[in-house]
Amino acid sequence: MAQFRKNLLKAQPSKDGKSHYGNYVTLEDLTAAVDGALPESLGYTQEATSDPNGVSITTMLFDASGEYIIYNPLSMPVQRKDAQAFGSAETYARRYSLSAAFGVSASKDDDGQQATKAAPSKIKHRMVLKDQQTGSQLIR
């Protein structure tokens, strides 16, 4: 992996893919960069599995010595139940799983901003205050 990292520094994939979320590395550019930086003894494979609600990708790295690492599956939900939706989720999961396995930055780093945006709460919070003199509770 150390040799891979050195090789990758010379050929980082570009973020030429465009979406309404910003620029990203396409799966084609990512696999070309990873394949180009791999030493002869190192390889990988990805397995796709699906269920009615999504797609999971398991990435496996292996070495000519017989050693290997299997990463936990990365699962992506599928909103629509058609081939295009499953294909899109599979491509997305392959890209993120491969990026994580090899430590390649494939998307703009937004410091977790999108992940931490929460929908406004519909629950109104009430403040309960205790009157120091009477001990009764005031609800606001």
Q: 59 lies in which domain range?
A: 2-108
- Going from the C-alpha of 89 to that of each of 36, 48, 92, the distances in angstroms are 25, 10, 5
Instruction: Say if 59 falls within a structural domain.
Output: yes
Instruction: Say if 95 falls within a structural domain.
Output: yes
CA dihedral of 25, 27, 29, 30, whole degrees rounded to 10: 80
CA distance 40 to 21: 36
Decide the pairing of beta strands 137-139 and 128-130: antiparallel
CA distance 49 to 102: 21
Instruction: Say if 131 falls within a structural domain.
Output: no
Instruction: Say if 121 falls within a structural domain.
Output: no
Find tokens 């990365």 and name the residue: 74
Q: Which pLDDT score, from 0 to 100, does residue 111 have?
A: 44
Q: Which pLDDT score, from 0 to 100, does residue 1 have?
A: 87
- Counting Cβ atoms within 10 Å, is residue 109 exposed (0-12), middle (13-18) or buried (19+)? exposed
Provide the domain count of the chain.
1
Instruction: Say if 36 falls within a structural domain.
Output: yes
Instruction: Say if 71 falls within a structural domain.
Output: yes
Q: Which pLDDT score, from 0 to 100, does residue 117 have?
A: 59
Instruction: Say if 139 falls within a structural domain.
Output: no
Q: Which pLDDT score, from 0 to 100, does residue 24 have?
A: 76
pTM exceeds 0.85 = no
Q: Which pLDDT score, from 0 to 100, does residue 140 have?
A: 45
Instruction: Say if 77 falls within a structural domain.
Output: yes
CA distance 109 to 122: 30
Each residue's pLDDT, cut to its tens digit, for the chain (140 residues) gives 888 988 888 777 767 677 666 667 889 989 999 999 999 999 999 999 988 899 999 999 999 999 999 999 999 999 898 999 999 999 999 999 999 999 887 545 444 555 565 555 544 444 445 555 665 555 54
